[in-house]
Amino acid sequence: MSTRRVGPFEVQALGLGCMNLSHAYGVPPSREAAQGLLLRALDAGVDFFDTAALYGFGANETLVGEVLALHRHRFVLASKCGMQGVDGKRVIDGRPATLKATCEAALRRLRTEVIDLYYLHRWDKQVPIEDSVGALAELVREGKIRAIGLSEVGSATLRRAHAVHPIAALQSEYSLWSRDVERGTLAACAELGVAFVSFSPLGRGFLSAGVDDPSTLPANDIRRAMPRFQGDAWAHNLACLQGLRELASEQGCSMAQLALAWVLQQGAAVGVQMLAIPGTMRLEHLLDNLGASSVTLQADIARRAAACMSGIQGARYAPATFAEIDSD
């Protein structure tokens, strides 16, 4: 598997997003199943694990800590602050005192003395980005985190933050059906030497044909509130998927592998260290995803895959969620 440079770390291009094991997509797997998946990922060579205070309102960090603490020397650990659960509700809070308190709690849950890469999960627009990043810089100086990341911010905000302290990585959604970051964010990462970490590189299961009918998803599945999974937009988008299925067959790989290989190959085109952190609850999907590291897409197939998804309908978030993020 090829490697990528993220700040002071060199890691495999495919990491593991751990959110699915505790949060967002209906009923999470059992403790035993989640443990098995995390350990299998580690044994398969995954050395970059991504979690957050928000996921399961602390439960995901606790899970990762309980399962992987004994293997801490084998992987780079990423987590996030600035968005967490408070009294059963999601709250964005980028005040320095809150970020520091969140870090202390995360260190306890993760059973570690230091978090390798600590992201500001969302920019709290009530707090200057310089203040939030300044607090994270203090955590670096105190030895509690090793590198700083940002999530879902645009190029102007990235530059402001980078002027306060070097930003090691920017994490945002990027896939064949979510290409907003190509409007300027990726170019800013290339300019500043910031790695880019793609979350939801499989389109929240869409690009791997993992969603048959959104109406059958659990009531607490976040995709139910996403416009792309609703009504006429869903029917249109589902029709686009057939072309991707045919291209995967032509390439000789699974649809998930095609989608992941496409993301990873985009980094070279723009001069960015590009990583992807697909998440899953199932071992067979984990192993299939990791197989993408050996897939090199033919240039024509990569171009046609992008064309297949160019007509996707519906926003990636509902309007209220879009109001919380920063983008180009």
Active site residues: 55
**How many H helices and E strands in the chain?**
11, 12
User: What is d(CA 57, CA 21) in angstroms, rounded to the nearest whole number?
Assistant: 12
Q: Which of 47, 4, 46 is nearest to 273 (CA)?
A: 4
Sign of CA dihedral 229, 233, 238, 241: negative
> Tokens 């999470």 label which residue?
28
Report strand pairing: 3-6 vs 9-12.
antiparallel
3-class DSSP assignment, residue 265: helix
CA 251 – CA 85 distance, rounded (Å)? 43
CA 208, CA 256: separation in Å to the nearest integer? 5
